[in-house]
Chain A
Amino acid sequence: MNELAIKDLLYKLADDQLILGHRNSEWTGFGPILEEDIAFSSMAQDKIGHSLAFYTLLQELGEADPDTVAFTRNANQFHNSQLVELPNGEYDFSLIRHFLYDNAEIIRFEMLSQSSYEPIAKVATKLKGEVKYHVLHANTWIKNLGSSTEEAILRLQSSLNEALPYALAMFENSKYEQELIDAGVYAGEEAVKTEWLKRIQAVIDKTDLKLPDLATIEPKFGGRYGEHTEHLQPLLDEMAEVFKIDPTAEW
């Protein structure tokens, strides 16, 4: 198996989860109800834990250690989708993003748990149970708020419209897409996307929300290869603020 292709996949997985985990953690102390503070913090801990698992696989393939990789790269070296780096905004945006992201993530984890590349299969199998709970959390809240007050429905609809161009770009193809598919690593981004659409549509159908016509939406590609919004670098600077005081120190 082409190691570059595997690394490419691992970076994408790890970076998505690190950055979204970081964003989720920003809700601590600010949630609309205490239970949501706690839920977003739990998901943040899971996501960052998952990213660490994938950075550890990268280290086994010869990349630097997880702390160095996570805390010292610049934005243009990150492979996350732009969706996860966007600021939290109001709770409706964070919830919609969580819904769109985790419904894709669970599919990737399901596929990867069957992967021909055993180290990834092992990690995905071990962690997919946690992602399942993230999906349950997102779907429950979307169904609940998405069929409640007019104000909630309006907010969620406008956040959904705003997030979709970024969400569709989660499925930006890898340089090694065909190779990964041929080698049985997983079925590839188009397959993830098809299944994702089915699943989010099924949830949205149970609410007063509407999925816009996706054919008219231009996905915000680029994140997978270092093109990011102006929001990522400040996030990384903040994340590394203490670490960079002395990168050789043990904190």
Chain B
Amino acid sequence: MYGGGNVFEATKFDDVQVEDPAKLEEFEARIARGEKIEPTDWMPELYRKQLIRMIEQHAHSEIIGALPEGTWITRAPGFRRKMAQMAKVQDEVGHAQLLYSAAETLGKSREQMLTDLISGKSKYSNVFNYPAFTWADSNIISWLIDAGAIVNQMANAKGSYGPYSRALERICAEEAFHLKYGHDAVVHMATGSPKQREMIQAALNRWWPPIMTFFGPSDKMSTHTETLMRWKVKMASNDECRQQFLDMYVPKIWELGLTVPDPKLKKNMETGQWEFTEPDWDEFKRVINGDGPCNAERLAVRRTAEERGAWVRRALLNPKAKYVRPLA
């Protein structure tokens, strides 16, 4: 899961000039031809920095994103949901593992990335700073946040950096299952007992504002994306992703008899664009910068996990430790 992470920390572009112009030209020509850039290839420092930041934030989003739904694993109702919820959240942790490995190819270690996550230095998708109050919230996340993630990741899978793009292809295949699972769970709630319907509508009401910020601030508000677009680091604008998401999912939400808590939401048939109440970008910024309902809790959980597991990592690094290969 991921969204908008690549915009809220815009890189300074002054450094591009210091690169060797001939190499830069060749690099850009390769990208224009649709070639993938591989770890040992020459790349501008800025490209490397931006990709590390982006992949790292994506990895963090997967691992932190596992927490709100993870808390519902032990409470999932019935075998079918319990098994699926476990598998789904496990996949997200697997995505983090895959993405940390992709980022490591650019020269930053997993340990360092996790340290930066815990210290608050690097960010993750802002939606996970909101709580999953009920089982229904978890279902809305599985459906709509994963849906948003797919829109974003399908676009980024066409990006220029080989390891990231290949990781995203694998991830998207699994996300498609998450989407099915999430949709199925929401359908059961929306067509279930009055209590279930009430739970799912309340969860949608809570999650709609964060969902609308999922793809990051409006393009009008973000700067310096042309170079990133040319280098195929950023593949679609925030507004394009948001419009695509609304196109695909608002009708499905309405189909279930649920309402979207935005009286201004409608598709303008002339422009073909969705119109909606402008999300509260001040709140978005406040939450990203640490002042959301769950920021402290999310990082505390991660920090505790790292601290409690430190002895295991020390033991694995110990030269005395013999790696014992499991022989089947």
* Cβ-Cβ contact count across A and B, 8 Å cutoff: 159
Complex interface bits, A145-181 against B, C-beta within 8 A gives 1, otherwise 0: 1011101100100000000000000000000000000
Complex interface bits, A52-76 against B, C-beta within 8 A gives 1, otherwise 0: 1000000000000011001100000
A245 and B82 alpha carbons, distance in the complex (Å): 16
Say if the beta carbon of B127 comes within 8 Å of chain A. Answer: no
Q: Which of B90-98, B222-230, B276-284 lines the interface with chain A?
A: B90-98
- A41 x B89 contact (CB < 8 A): yes
Say if the beta carbon of B254 comes within 8 Å of chain A. Answer: no
Say if the beta carbon of A215 comes within 8 Å of chain B. Answer: no
A70 and B78 alpha carbons, distance in the complex (Å): 8
Q: Which residue of A lies closest to B320 (CB)?
A: A148
- A45 x B309 contact (CB < 8 A): no
Q: How far in angstroms is the closest Cβ of chain A from B152?
A: 22
- B315 x A148 contact (CB < 8 A): yes
Give chain B interface residues in 182-203, CB to chain A under 8 Å: 185, 188-189, 192-193, 195-196
Contact residues in B for A66 (Cβ distance below 8 Å): 79
Q: Give which listed residue, A28, A91, A137, A155, contacts B90 with CB less than 8 A.
A: A28
Contact residues in A for B316 (Cβ distance below 8 Å): 33, 144-145, 148
Q: Give which listed residue, B94, B305, B311, B315, contacts A29 with CB less than 8 A.
A: B305
Interface residues on B, range: 35 or more
A141 and B308 alpha carbons, distance in the complex (Å): 17
- B66 x A28 contact (CB < 8 A): yes
Say if the beta carbon of B231 comes within 8 Å of chain A. Answer: no
- B311 x A155 contact (CB < 8 A): yes
A67 and B315 alpha carbons, distance in the complex (Å): 41
Contact residues in B for A67 (Cβ distance below 8 Å): 78-79
- A70 x B79 contact (CB < 8 A): yes
Q: Give which listed residue, B72, B78, B192, B322, contacts A143 with CB less than 8 A.
A: B322
A66 and B78 alpha carbons, distance in the complex (Å): 9
- A152 x B315 contact (CB < 8 A): yes
Say if the beta carbon of B312 comes within 8 Å of chain A. Answer: yes
- A251 x B97 contact (CB < 8 A): no
Give chain B interface residues in 239-285, CB to chain A under 8 Å: none
- B77 x A242 contact (CB < 8 A): yes
Q: Give which listed residue, B78, B93, B188, B312, contacts A41 with CB less than 8 A.
A: B93
Say if the beta carbon of B74 comes within 8 Å of chain A. Answer: yes
- B326 x A31 contact (CB < 8 A): no
Given A44-B86, A149-B320, A242 contacting B97 (CB threshold 8 A): no
- B86 x A45 contact (CB < 8 A): yes
- B83 x A238 contact (CB < 8 A): no
- A148 x B326 contact (CB < 8 A): no
Q: Give which listed residue, A37, A70, A132, contacts B93 with CB less than 8 A.
A: A37
Q: How far in angstroms is the closest Cβ of chain B from A67?
A: 5
Contact residues in B for A49 (Cβ distance below 8 Å): 83
Additional A-B contact list (13), CB under 8 Å, known A34-B97, A36-B309: A26-B73, A29-B66, A32-B310, A41-B87, A41-B89, A52-B83, A136-B326, A144-B321, A145-B316, A148-B315, A149-B315, A245-B77, A246-B196
